[in-house]
Amino acid sequence: MALTLAEAAKLSNDMLMQGVVETIVKDSPLLQRLPFIEIAGNGLTYNQEKTFPGIDFYDVGDTWVESTPTFEQKTANLKIMGGDADVDNFLKSTRSNIQDLEAAIVEMKSKALRDKLEETFVYGDSAANPKQFDGLRALIDTTTAGGQVIAMGPTGATLTLAKLDELIDAVKGGKPDMLLMSRRSRRKINALARAANGMMDTDRDRWGNFVQLWDGIPIGVNDWILDTHDLADSVETATTGGDCSVIYAVQFGEGALCGLTSPGYLQVEPVGSLESKDASRTRVKWYASLALFSTIKAAALIGVKD
């Protein structure tokens, strides 16, 4: 069964890990909602759903035609991400009355892990860097026209609410669970909504943060989505050098977009005292990946200009 990171942390008695998870999840709309599947081994091979089987009407005595869905076999391998946090023992002992330095440094390392995960969630490309898992850009393949890729124009154009609705409609089997975009794109949607004499709905997450919704779908801001993509012939040719951005619409779940993780999820490992210096080390690591089980559960609107 798939669980979000926050729900999985409740099953652990490790207070340090729970604190790290809260630090990671609190300011990340993505990690608040993305479910993860625990897998045994170093990867998961799955059949990605491409098309549905056909259904027809028949008269009595007709010969029935067999029709099956089509699949493409995919493999998502777990990747190792993490880092070490060293705390000088002298500073730890002499300044602990002001601040728990170890907790503060581990918290900073956790935030760095979150930032790297959110960046890789969008731009991860195992073909360019085998140490990474594939992110949304590679899974949807915005460098190929058609399918689940919608372009504002051959070289991009100013965002419109009609195109945003087209993006939402591209996700089949229910509404998307999130619209993921840059801050510039969110500001543009706000401006379009105000110009149409309307306002977007808002809600609060479990930490009390306001979340904006368009058509009832939460808007998630990812600070790593660039506004410098370049387009040619309605496909992305580069992520830098241009003035375009991208908006993703995704459904989460075991039959849609889901994270993959090793048993235990995120790990906070006290390495202990170091031989080469008077310090102690804590290692924050995660064996994680991303899988898109059905192509119609995610779509990208590319060429979004301000």
pLDDT in 10s for each residue of the chain, 306 residues: 566 766 666 656 566 666 676 777 777 888 888 999 998 888 888 888 777 788 899 999 999 998 888 888 888 999 999 988 888 888 877 775 655 777 778 888 888 888 898 999 999 999 999 999 999 999 999 988 888 999 999 999 999 999 999 999 999 989 999 999 999 999 999 999 888 877 678 777 776 777 888 888 999 999 999 999 999 999 999 999 999 999 999 999 988 999 999 887 888 888 888 888 898 888 888 899 999 998 899 999 999 998
* Residue 185 near residue 222 (C-beta atoms within 8 A): no
Residue 273 domain flag:
yes
31 and 117 in a single domain? The answer is: yes
The residues that bridge with 231 in the sheet, in sequence order, are 236
172 and 26 in a single domain? The answer is: no
pLDDT of residue 17: 63
Residue 56 domain flag:
no
Quote the tokens at residue 145: 């026209």
Write the CATH number for 283: 3.30.2400.20
Residue 184 domain flag:
yes
pTM recorded for the entire structure? 0.86
Residue 206 domain flag:
yes
Residue 118 domain flag:
yes
How many whole angstroms from its chain centre is CA 279?
Answer: 35
127 and 265 in a single domain? The answer is: yes
pLDDT of residue 220: 92
* Residue 246 near residue 184 (C-beta atoms within 8 A): no
Residue 137 domain flag:
no
Domain extent for 217: 147-255+295-305
Separation of first and last alpha carbons in the chain: 40
Question: Could you identify the residue written with the tokens 């898109």?
Answer: 292
pLDDT of residue 173: 86
List pLDDT tens digits, range 18-63. Answer: 667 677 777 788 888 899 999 888 888 888 877 778 889 999 999 9
19 and 107 in a single domain? The answer is: yes
Number of domains within the chain: 2
Residue 60 domain flag:
no
Helix axes 15-26, 101-123, angle to 10 degrees: 50
Residue 109 domain flag:
yes
Tell me how many helices (H) and strands (E) the chain has.
8, 18
118 and 8 in a single domain? The answer is: yes
The residues that bridge with 299 in the sheet, in sequence order, are 249
122 and 8 in a single domain? The answer is: yes
**Alpha-carbon distance 259 to 289, whole Å?**
6
267 and 299 in a single domain? The answer is: no
241 and 184 in a single domain? The answer is: yes
**C-alpha distances in angstroms, 278 versus 92, 99, 105?**
11, 19, 16
264 and 127 in a single domain? The answer is: yes
pLDDT of residue 27: 75
Amino acid at 106: V
115 and 192 in a single domain? The answer is: no
Amino acid at 65: V
Give the burial string for 150-167 (b: 16+ CB within 10 Å, else e): bbbeebbeebebebbeeb
| Rg over CA atoms, the chain | 22
Write the CATH number for 151: 3.30.1930.10
104 and 247 in a single domain? The answer is: no
The residues that bridge with 209 in the sheet, in sequence order, are none
123 and 200 in a single domain? The answer is: no
